[in-house]
Amino acid sequence: MSLLASLSIAGQSLLTFQRGINSTNKNISNATTEGYNKETPVFQDLPKSGVYLNKIIRAFDQSLFNRSISLNQSVNSDKSYSGILNNIEDVFNDALGSGFSDALNTFFNSINDMLIKPDDLATRSQFIANAKVLVGKIRSSDKALEDLKQQTVLKVRDQINQINQITEQLAKLNNLIKTKTLDVESSNEYLNERDRLITQLSNLIDTKVVFNEDNTVNVFTAKGFGLVVGITNTQLQFETDSNGNAVIKWNNTNDITKEIQNGELGGNLKAIDAINGQLNRLNDFATVLANVFNKVHSQGYGLDGSTGLNFFGIDPNSSLSKIDASNIIVAIEDPKQVALATNTAYLNSDNTNGKNLLALKDSIGGVLTSTEETALKSSLNDPNNYDIIKNSKFSEYYNSQLVAIISSESSRIKTQMENNQFLYDAITEKMKSLTGVNMDEELINLTKLQRSYQAAARIITVTDELMQTILNIGK
């Protein structure tokens, strides 16, 4: 072999090992970089041409990645949903003083206090004060839920903006990946960024990802609406309906709100439904309480002989025509107008109607006529709520429908979240073992490559010395 051929082979090897060293140094530098996939240089011996860097393989397992994306969507949905369920629970946490179970019991118990001495204005005044406390608690619960709903809807709006930004970046990245297929090192950088963006997207929404042969991706919603197809992304639009609920549209046409189940967005949408359900149950509670109490109260007489008066009314500032949790007020200010009597001859001592009011604590059966029941049920968000109260008590409805339902759902989601988190962590660890950088391994590879580089450099040095010697002999 000629000296020039040896010099060429050594020079080619020198450049090859330098690229290998650069690749290994890149792995070491990114050992703690989130989302970085290690690269492995693959060398090939070429006859009479030395060593050639055939390719740089990026560690990646598509099946594991898809599994991690799916679990990540579920985990983030559970976290978002669980957090808001906790907030709903806090609204009805009697231990923290935010619920109204105690206020409800005190309200009915204060009726009993009036029965002992019907003409005592002090106990009557205390009853009105307790009623106002109950009404205040009901309305503050409604306000807290409405505020929580509004905050969650705003989160949905912000998440839609984030999703649109990510899909726009993915579409641009697809274009770069297509045009940089021959640049291995740049291509791997783009693929790492691609996977990072897909992971970010899975934090927000449940998607299906299709990997193309050219390493670009197409991204669809769970039901098949394209978010990124090739180098084009389709925007999602955020709107609100007449009830203030979030509405999400694809390409300004298709309403896909109900189809989004996972990711933070899916969790928040489920939370809005949970808040609406709680608001409906709370409003029905207030409507039934006010209507049956008003029916009994209007049949009695006050100390001043007044009759036909409703005890609960509608806030004058409300635009609604029915009493609910948002507008219920105590309509009577004068304690003499609390209707405890049924016999006008004994207004100071008769407590018969007061006993009827107290009886509502345990049962509302027989208070309304069938026609009145039908009309009341038609005004409720869920007619079954009337039947639940009628077949139990107001306090039991409070505990079973306003406390237990949310508590049970919160407990279920927490268990589900823990299970999904365990699976996600397991998949993540497995992916890290495959794609993560092992410093011991990289240092060994670096040492080998440096030795190979030094050997190639030594060949060049020796060959150069031989050539100088030959040239000198020729002189």
What stretches of 234-391 adopt beta strand conformation (E)?
236-240, 246-250, 254-255, 312-314, 328-330
pLDDT at 189 (0 to 100): 84
Q: What does the pLDDT read at residue 319?
A: 92
Residues of the chain with pLDDT under 50: none
Closest CA to 394 of 275, 292, 278: 292
Position 38 scores a pLDDT of: 79
CA gap 103, 113 in Å, rounded: 15
pLDDT of residue 82: 96
pLDDT at 261: 93
Angle made by CA atoms 285, 277, 410, in degrees to the nearest 5 = 110
pLDDT for 24 equals: 77
All residues at 6 or more sequence positions from 318 whose CB lies less than 8 Å from its CB, including other chains: 326, 327
Residues 403 and 85: their CA atoms lie apart, in Å, by 11
Residue ranges per domain, the chain? 3-59+438-474, 67-421
In the three-class reduction of DSSP (H, G, I as helix; E, B as strand; rest coil), residue 444 is classed as: helix
- Predicted local distance difference test score (pLDDT) of residue 337: 97
The whole-number pLDDT of residue 34 equals 77
